[in-house]
Structure 1
Amino acid sequence: MTEKNRPITQGKRVVVRRALSAGIALAAALVPVMGAAPGAQAVVGGSAATRGQFASLVSIQRGSEQHSCGGTLIAAGRVLTAAQCVNGITAAGLKVVAGRHHLSSTTPNQQTVEVEKIVRHSEYSASTHANDIAILKLKKPVALDGTYVSLADLPTASAGYPTGNVTVAGWGATREGGPVSDSLQWAEIPMVTKAKCQTAYGNTAIYPGMICAGVLSTGGKGNCKYDTGSPVLKGRTIVGIHSWRRGCARPQYPDVDSGVSYYRAWIDANLT
């Protein structure tokens, strides 16, 4: 019998058992730490939406992807989204799906429309996400039925920084590092003041026009990957467009969104 195939001796068994015991003890000690990691949290932390609950929300398909970003109908032929969702791509590479509920199946009243033109904010910065806003002009208007496909309201330019609770919705991952969600999810989270948002990310990271929302103390609710461009809502009014965050729903790190009120004049000037 060769050395490679020789059975383990009694002495070697003792060494192996001791090594295994030490490894198990180390793993047990690490469990609480790993369990507290942000990646282990349920990110959206909300509920599955009912069909038609977010009738102004659309799914944006980029290239061959089934879903890449969210968007919001603000006119029958206009979708408001984040500039990063359309950065480096032409209108020919985009489609918008209205009335969508599950990504894996076609919903009755679902409509897929091609994009004719992208209007991205001229001062958008890919490195800082400043001015992260864009309008998609569709090749044809979607059919509004008022139940499954409808428009969001826009806030006035004077509305200012939102307060209180807001609603976020999208098909983003339900945990940090997770896949896209097949079913539309939503959650209610509180707005975070600009001062607290600057404390979290640093003064230089929060640009004019950015607003923040999240559960600072515990995390566990908020947007994640594939939720970019999705709306932040107060009732039927879109007050924000999801832009970026650190991780997903981590404590002390709120979602950062583009405030729609701040960009109302820009939106009005680019709707036609």
Structure 2
Amino acid sequence: MKHIVAILFLGLALSIQGRPNNEPYIIGGVPVEPREFPEMVSIQIDGMPRCGGTILSEGWIMTIAHCMVYDMHDYAVVAGSDNLDKDQGTRHSVNKIIIHQNYSKEDSWRNDIALVSVTPPIKLGSINQAGKLADPSEGINEGDMATVIGYGSNKYEGLPTNVLEKANIAVSNHDQCNTIYNSNFGLNVHDTQLCAGMEGRGFCGFDTGSPLFIKGKVIGISSWTYKCAEPGFPEVFTYVSKYIDWINDNLKP
């Protein structure tokens, strides 16, 4: 049995067996260009980055379910910042959280997706923009290049840098990814999840919920992984295209 280090939501580190890490940050990345990713937001507690998210509209963002397990009044959402230390952006309170009704941490973080309503509304324009979600008809193939972003640490078990970074990674073979996690940890990679990675590049802590892009469209949400860009272990994302109907149904007035 491999020994896994899981970085918990509030930044506490515990050594446990059999469960991979599901608190990503960017490994092997570089700082983004100014407002290169205007869809990105930081979800915070007590001024500390905890997760990332994607703007869907003035009033809604998308993130992962396992981030939004506390009282909504504990959270703040920061939009419009590439560097949380230098540019505070705009701060927004949370007034509603919708977690997927079939989310299951016990079943390999299945349906790890949530919608979050914010107030005041996020002003859209050149600074903040709604993310373009990939259509279900737009398939992905092994080897397709993708871009993952996040504000977090650039080393395993490190602290967040507060600087938005990006890293290019490749879509992995789904069946092989499932075999790796099933044989090592008894976990399943479901058809509503996708795998991507590249040795020395990827996510690992404090920024789950950040978007994964292919050709400028959001195809995934950082969900869970083993360690950080670990050789032989692709990273697992919620496959956003599988949830378009669920998203649209829950955003109806």
Class of the TM-score when normalised by the shorter of the 2 chains? 0.7 to 0.9
Aligned to 1:11: none
What residue number does 1:259 align with?
Answer: 239
* Aligned residue number for residue 49 of structure 1: 32
Runs in 1 of length 4+ with deviation above 6 angstroms?
A: none
Corresponding residue of 2:55 = 73
Return the offset for 1:162: 5.4
Letter in 1 for 2:242: Y
Higher RCO structure, 1 or 2 (CA under 8 Å, sep 6+): 2
Q: Does 1:180 align with 2:180?
A: no
Structure 1 residue corresponding to 2:67, chosen from 85, 109, 116 = 85
User: Please, what is the CA RMSD of the aligned residues?
Assistant: 1.7
CA distance in 2, matches of 1:43, 1:172: 6
Alignment of 1:1-272 (within 5 A): 44-62=27-45, 64-87=46-69, 89-107=70-88, 110-127=89-106, 128-146=108-126, 148-161=127-140, 163=142, 164-202=144-182, 204-215=187-198, 219-272=199-252
Query: Helix, strand or coil: the match of 1:205?
Result: coil
Q: Distance in 2 between matches of 1:43 and 1:113?
A: 24
Paired residues of 1:161 and 1:211 also in contact (CA < 8 A): no
Q: Give the structure 2 partner of residue 8 of structure 1.
A: none
Q: From the CA coordinates, give the structure whose radius of gyration is larger.
A: 1
Structure 2 unaligned segments of length 5 or more: list them: 1-24
User: Which structure is higher in helix share?
Assistant: 1
Give the letter aligned to residue 169 of structure 1. I
Distance 1:43 1:143 in 2: 27
CA contact under 8 A between 1:167 and 1:234: conserved in structure 2?
yes
Deviation at 1:43, TM superposition (A): 6.0
Task: Read off the aligned partner of 2:173 and give its amino acid letter.
Answer: T
Q: TM-score by structure 2 length?
A: 0.83
Q: Tell me which protein shows more strand as a share of its residues.
A: 2
- Identity within the alignment, %: 33
Which one-letter code corresponds to 1:196 in the other structure?
A: Q
TM-score relative to the length of structure 1:
0.78
Give secondary structure in 1 for the equivalent of 2:28.
Answer: coil
Unaligned runs of 5+ in 1: 1-41
